[in-house]
Amino acid sequence: MVAAPRLEIDLDKIYHNAHELVTRLAERGISVTGVTKATLGSAEIASTLVRAGVNALGDSRIENIQAMCLSGKDVLMKDVSMTLIRTPMLSQVEQVVTYADMSFNTEIEVIKKLSVEAEKQGRIHQVLLMVELGDLREGIMPEDLIDTVRQVLSLPNICLKGIGANLACRSGASPDATNMGMLSELADRVEATFDVTLETVSGGNSANIQWALSDAGADTGRINNLRLGEAVLLGCETLHRRPINGLHTDAITLVAEVIESKCKPSLPSGELAQTAFGEAASVVDRGTVRQSILAIGIQDIDPVGLQAPEGIKILDSSSDHLIVESVNDDLFVGQETTFQISYSALLRAMTSPFVSKTFMH
């Protein structure tokens, strides 16, 4: 057995989730870009997504895309379009042109540099322009889109592949008929103004699932692509974090090991000042409790994003300790405990070198 802490990653369940979403969305004319950023660009997971039918892989870090390209996995080299879904840093343009087939962009200054670099490398770099539709993260203001497209179309070695939007990330602004309708309309307007076809109109992320698959049969208009990370990996939509019917919500779980188990007072003693991370401790006297410590901490996970098994309650955490209380039985030293995890806990655990990753079939 691999040491704890570890992520147990069930590739069959991830395959199932991806395949279900690809199939259901295909009925609406929508393709899926599999988003790998929460997995630190795991080539194992990425190739599972490709086998399940995603037509592209998206990541926000070019380092992850590079790692996937260099992983030696054939499906990642030949069969799939690698997409950088965050606007490139000017300082990384060379890497972006080398490893990404397409990048999402909002700044003409960056696209001009991509053009120069693509010419230098003798490549065509595909560009998708992101439009601001109310969430106030990335995006060109809608009224500036036509002018930006005009400039993009004049650049050598750049191919305008489409437009897209991202919602429900910074502000929680939800995809609906109005903003998705606006994206469709913008696609039509670009095509009516210039002699181009926008191949891809990418409507959003896992927060778009309800909109795209609603029973009411919402009109999905020109939207023909979604970029999905959390829905595939954790089986839930992200507006209300509800499980998606028929998908696994436990494809990835976290196992940690108990290093101390004692009965202790629930109330600390001494004069109480700040804790390790500057907050005030929670102090309610519940008498003596069964308290255990697991060897994992804020460096490896987002403690708020852990769901403990029945009978165990997460009390507090510091850099390297997770303190839990068990209601019925004592946990014993050396015992392993399995947690369900949120996206933020997954993101951090995948990134922590202290957490092993075990892939299971």
Ligand X SMILES: *Cc1c(COP(=O)(O)O)cnc(C)c1O
User: Which of the stretches 148-156, 230-238, 292-300, 305-313 binds ligand X when contact is defined by CB under 6 A?
Assistant: 230-238
Taking the CA atoms of residue 19, residue 208, residue 77 and residue 91 in that order, the dihedral angle to the nearest 10 degrees is -160
Q: What is d(CA 231, CA 207) in angstroms, rounded to the nearest whole number?
A: 9
Say if residues 184 and 139 touch (Cβ distance below 8 Å). Answer: no
Near ligand X by CB under 6 A, which window of 6-14, 155-163, 176-184, 226-234?
A: 226-234
Amino acid at 75: V
Nearer of residues 37 and 264 to ligand X, judged by Cβ: 37
Q: Does 61 bind ligand X (CB under 6 A)?
A: no
Asked if 236 interacts with ligand X (CB under 6 A), we say: no
37 binds ligand X (CB under 6 A): yes
Residue 134 region by backbone torsions, left for phi larger than 0, else alpha for psi between -120 and 50, else beta:
left
Q: How far is CA 329 from CA 93, 263, 301, 325, in A?
A: 56, 11, 25, 10
- d(CA 295, CA 1) in angstroms, rounded, equals 17
Please work out the total of residues on this chain that contact ligand X, with binding judged by CB under 6 A: 13
Tell me the per-residue interface mask from 162 to 201 with ligand X, x by CB under 6 A, - otherwise. Answer: ----x-----------------------------------
Using CB under 6 A as the binding rule, whether residue 48 contacts ligand X is answered as no
42 belongs to the binding site for ligand X (CB under 6 A): no
Return d(Cα 309, Cα 337) in angstroms, integer: 8
Give the separation between CA 56 and CA 165, rounded to whole angstroms: 17
Helix H or strand E segment including 26: helix 11-26
Report residue 160 as tokens: 């305008």
206 contributes a contact to ligand X by CB under 6 A: yes
Which residues in 256-295 contact ligand X (CB under 6 A)?
none
Q: How far is the CB of 308 from ligand X (least distance, A)?
A: 24
- Binding of ligand X at residue 35 (CB under 6 A)? yes
37, 73, 112, 264: which one is catalytic? 37
Are the CB atoms for 5 and 258 separated by under 8 Å? Answer: no
Q: Residue 19 or residue 227: which is nearer to ligand X going by CB?
A: 227
Q: Which is nearer to ligand X, 60 or 352 (CB)?
A: 60
Q: Are 312 and 338 in contact (CB under 8 A)?
A: no
37 as an active site residue: the answer is yes
- Report the residue number, 35 or 102, with the smaller CB distance to ligand X: 35
Interface with ligand X by CB under 6 A: which range of 62-70, 90-98, 227-235, 242-250?
A: 227-235
| 205, 210, 224, 352: which one binds ligand X (CB under 6 A) | 205
Q: What does the angle CA 284 – CA 286 – CA 292 come to, to the nearest 5 degrees?
A: 95
Please check whether residue 311 is in contact with residue 327, taking contact to mean a CB–CB distance below 8 angstroms: yes
Show which residues are catalytic: 37
Applying CB under 6 A, which residues contact ligand X?
A: 35, 37, 60, 85, 166, 205-206, 227-231, 238
